Amino acid sequence: MTAPFFVEEIDSRGVARITLTRAEAHNVFNDVLISELTTALTGLEEDERVRLVVLAAQGRSFSAGADLNWMKAMAGYSEAENREDALRLAKLMQTLNGLSKPTLALVQGPAYGGGVGLVACCDIVVAAEAATFCLSEVKLGLIPAVISPYVIAAIGEAAARRYFLTAEVFSAWEAQRLGLVHEVVEAGALDQMGRQLAAKLLDGGPLAQAAAKDLIFAVTEASDDRLIEDTAERIATVRASEEGREGVAAFLEKRKPHWRRD
């Protein structure tokens, strides 16, 4: 069985790379991935050799978000169980966002739902021209709750009002215009741009970079613990609702949910 992700050797410069490897499943995440990825990021945070963390993915998609079969199973759990599960995903996003070391995302393909959250939690994002983005939750009767602090910080309230509600797919160029993506390149130039940015990041003092990130968090308060708990509570409630269960079931059964009239 293919591991849900792997951490490459930390190179001599202190660059660590996490690559999502569930290409055949569009790099969706479930409870196992969430737990192990959170542990991996915590380990990299504590490893004094690490100067920079690169997040990448194999296959056609960067990440299609949550595994819907896992989500369907969770919808049958109690609200308290759903809340605990949502808090684990919230902890992953908080850990990635709050890493004191610079983070660089290389997005080679579509990022949907929670995949957009992973992107928004990284300091610098490079996307291939073919990459697309979608906050697809409302089509499933759900909401992008635990990723919302980071996505809204990246794209702003006005864009969130549109894309949270319409679940439209938008391009890498639109993502760049909104502030979610910093650089858009041809597919063959993704790693090259990543290496260039890594070199620039490695020129900075690591303690100063950690202090600079802490300064940003102090100003924006995007990782406030009360906000994290509130977003987890919101998705737990929606996921266990009749509409949430219907939306996920309709997607898995390849039919229209009951609210679709067309």
212 pLDDT more than 50: yes
The CA distance from 124 to 110, in Å, is 17
Structure tokens that stand for 84 in this block: 């605990």
How far from chain centre, in Å, is Cα 148? 10
The confidence band for 101, taking pLDDT boundaries of 50, 70 and 90, is very high
Residues 113 and 76: their CA atoms lie apart, in Å, by: 21
Structure confidence at residue 82 (pLDDT): 80
> pLDDT by residue (tens digit) across 21-55?
999 999 998 888 999 999 999 999 999 999 999 99
CB-count exposure of residue 100 (10 Å: 0-12, 13-18, 19+): middle
Q: Which CATH class is domain 5-220?
A: alpha beta
**pLDDT of 159-202, one tens digit each?**
999 999 999 999 999 999 999 999 999 999 999 999 999 999 99
Q: Residue 1: pLDDT band by 50, 70, 90 thresholds? A: very low
What does the alpha-carbon distance between residue 116 and residue 154 come to, in Å, rounded to a whole number?
A: 10
Q: Indicate the domain borders of the chain.
A: 5-220
